[in-house]
Chains A and B, each alone.
Chain A
Amino acid sequence: MTKFFYLCLALIICSVSETAFSLADNDADLSTAINEESADKASETSGADKSSKDEFFIPPIIIDNFDVGRTDGIFIERTTTLGTYQGTWAKRPAWSIITKSEEHRMGDTGYGLRLEWKNLGGWCGWYTLLDGLDVTDYNALTFWIKGEEGGERFDIGLADMQMQNLDISAKYVGAVSFFLDNGVTKEWQKVKIPLSRLGADVDLSALGSLVFWCRYSSAGDSSVVYIDDLMIENDPDVRKIEEYNAPRAEFDPDHPRTMWVWKIDPVVNLKAREDMFDLSLRTAIRTCYVYFGDFDEHDDPNYTKQLEEFLRESHEKGIKIEILTGNPTWAMKENHHLAYNWMKAFLEYNKSRPPELRVDGCSFDVEPYLAGEWNTRREEVKAEYLVLLASIRELIDSYPDQHFELGGAIPTFYKDEGDFEEKMLGYLDYAALMAYHDSSRKIIDSSRFHIDLAERLGKKIYIGVETQDLVTMNQGTRATTFYEEGWEDMEAKLKEVEDAFRGNKAYGGLAMHCYYSYKLLQRGRNTPYKLRVKPEELNQFISRFQQGTVEIDGDLGDWIKTDPVVLNQKRQVVFGPGAWNGPEDYSITAYSMWDLYNLYLAFVVVDNVLVQEKVKQEMWEGDHIEFWLDVDLLGDYNEAMNSDDDFQFGFAPGNFNNIEPEVFLFIPEYPEHFVLDNTEIAAKRTDDGYIIEVRIDARMFRDIDFKKVRQTASEDKQNLVANREIYEKGPDAVSEGSGRFIFADDTRLGYSLDGSDCDDANAPQKLLISTSKDRIWGDPTTFNAIWLKK
């Protein structure tokens, strides 16, 4: 038993955001929608480009082949090949343990490292010290990895010696899955991490430590991976991989994009500056909102000179720089002087300098609703904030010789705050709208009001989108960031947004939040993985082939009712089990049938109290059935996050009075008429409840791009027919061009049947009874299977 405490302090908390990077597996055409010229220009200036052929002859540095040193002794006994030390750290209840394995190793001799962890709160991970290792002649950190089950995931970080000595957290490089085509599998794979990703943040001439943050737990008791041959190398593939994955966007000169830049200092840190320019030019960004703290041009002449150089260089590259800061409490009058003085310092700086050395404006990120006072004296806070904006407007106007844009970040819900936003815009030149959604329709819908308002006022709106890992940060949901979608999918959606507003005078462009996460945003999807039993081992809801005509009338006389799914057990109540009073209270017997062009569903519901007074998306407040359908089951079999092939339907019986039975599609977002055109529903009252009968036309799924969804499990492991094969080889051999998806024999679709009972209109969703015992909303890996059989 030993102790090791203080060395861990530098390693235990990572405050940086998590972002993504991946070796995407699809061959997109790089020549389209790319500002190639800018990209090439940027890469030429990159000091991290080590792709020259000669350099690849430098022999690698072996940090650890894990053949020497112990794992259970004190740190001086846990030596590495490099002569440094390795170990684990943990804040309980999380834990991580290392051992060495002779069975799981690369090569014929020696050992591999076995890293096991479980994270239920706190933190844990593994580290190896690098003791000032100079890697400036190399371009990649590499190691081999395999998982005990596959799908294991951890985050990787690096710290330099200064950070190590000052107890500064290591810098996040990416999740291990970013660097592997299909994530960690049960086979050995080589991970190649480009060192250039950290060139601006970490001193590569003196590395301090490498850390694996074990933040994610797999299903089961713990996660186990095996690591071997940890090295620093010069790898010719790495440069290409970086280039391939670097975010890109099409430049629209009429609507250049903007970007929030937090956490880096491009004034002092030249590599950070270079990286910021690189990303901006690649991604059509022409204004950066750069964070600045307190500033006085006379405080530090050297810093002021660096600021001048930064601004000159920015302007030479066609990039405007606006100062960025903000604190919710600045809205309150007692703090107005802080904001005022901060702003004035930059206006004074501008005053004596030519335009090319000036700051171009200010992005004022004061969000008063984050302060507690927003809830207790909102109107006063709003009024005080407007007074602040008025004084700042007056301040800016008192410097008539300089053009200084004043912008402010606003949330979409300001439209519900009376004339507050209108009054704000009265003082601003533009607003950056935080329309943080990951669907184009939601971004467009939530922006419309603000664009219209700005148009009326002659102002501009920049539509902001989010790329941070908000889920891990506890600051949002997956639906509020493109972190999981990756930049390629994000661009497709943003194009729709741009198309929707391009003709509008008030539309300024898109605003990307924010630099450090956008820079590392991976090209393809970045979703959490979960292990599942094989598709044939899921509970099967057998759907019988129906050759005849089925009339959707609530009468099941024309149904084949041989294989029902029954929900009538307390263990099936996944929400509100204490409120369930037995099968007479609420229970469901469900049936399914199919033909080539339709999927039929019938639900015989026993419900002692029928309550449904709401329609459309509010139907969840009354009795209804939530029905998930994962159409491309194998396409994303292990992805624990819904994608475009996952449909969440709501089937409501109505109230058998003035509210009709209704189908509503919660996700994905399709036009209402499309859903209505391709679904049919009827309901019939019974003595003890009601029957819902539904038809879903195969055309409902015609827009699913099956090939776009990554296959995460090899076919020999998931030995079933993928839906895409049915799409291609269906009984009627329907061609792709027909646009008609069809159902076929022996197909499995993912599904979850969730019956929602309501007995009181004022108390929605008394309970939820489900076919998915581990049901998690939006997690298709908790679903079971509908099996289409002839």
Chain B
Amino acid sequence: MQKQNMTVPEGTRDLLYREAELYDSVSMNFERVYTQMGFSRICTPAVENYELFKAVNRSLMQENIYKLTDNTGRLLAIRPDNTTPIARVVATKLRNAPLVQKLCYNQHIYRVNSENSGMRNEILQSGIELVGAGGIKSDLLCIMTALDALKTIGLNFKLEIGHVGYFNALISKMSLSEEEIMDVRSFVEAKNFVSLNMFDKNLQNDVIRKLPLLYGNEEVFAEAETLAGDNAEALAALDYVRELYTTLCGAGYGEYIMVDMSMVHKFDYYTGTVIRGYIDHAGEPVLKGGRYDKLLEKFDYDVPATGFAINVCAVADALIKSGKLPAEKHSYAVIFYDTDSLNAAIELMNSYRERGLTCELSAFETLAETEEYAKAMNIETVIDLTSGKDGDKA
């Protein structure tokens, strides 16, 4: 085979041994938090109709989606996002199911990133969707689930809370064109003060310049209030975040939470509270989520929803960088047997397994090969049940 066909496509990777185990343990820890808090598992297909994603998410770019065709020539997409398919399932198969629906998932998303950017095109996401509740309690539930999930990682972390209503209310008062709003939105999201200043030269608008500075802790609320002035909608969004913040502080989460009133996610389906999570040793937010009350409406099912996704790959990378790989596992013993001693070998192996020890049956024909294998795999004990009568021992 040609060498170039023996490598993996750009942005994907093979996982082996402890690294593969790390991905499993990270996502299983998250899943345990979700299921213990009453979330049920959901799996959706890796391929969906392309139009599904384009219809509900304008900010997902065509060039970032892997596309293929089905047997009738219709365009399919390899899932670039988990929330949209889950919304589809809730709006169709679960339409008559009782609300609230609390769903959790561990599955990959696929995005085409530019070449040599070092970014992952295959990302394992672990997350929840909470459909059918719109009040502050559902936001609290979502945030507390996120906090508890982040806690299982074992690295220093922060979760920040924002509200897209604050930005939207302020920007709608500025009589800007849709194109200008898109620009400001991306500058604010990128905290690009330089471009905002330049944009602001003709506009002379204090609000635009100060918006991206509204991140931190309690001190943010006073500044954000001044900036909002008499904009009732913006003040309402701010009050909502303050209530979440105070409640979470009261519940003992104070040291983990921050506020960013300028947070506007790239995906434009968010309508209310938005959250982002950071951990040490990860150069990007590892958790993203928020409220998307208008998304299910696109599937003719008008119910509010909220949720988040954690990038398991980024978490695993951070754990590796911090030197926290799971301990190397070795089998306790390998048993060498022959036809006569097979039953005794199985019995012995099972007795070890019952004690919670890993025990292997030898896959080799000779004791010498078995011993060599044990040495290579760091297995301390080799048990020979053949009593040497085959002459293998020599």
A and B bind:
no
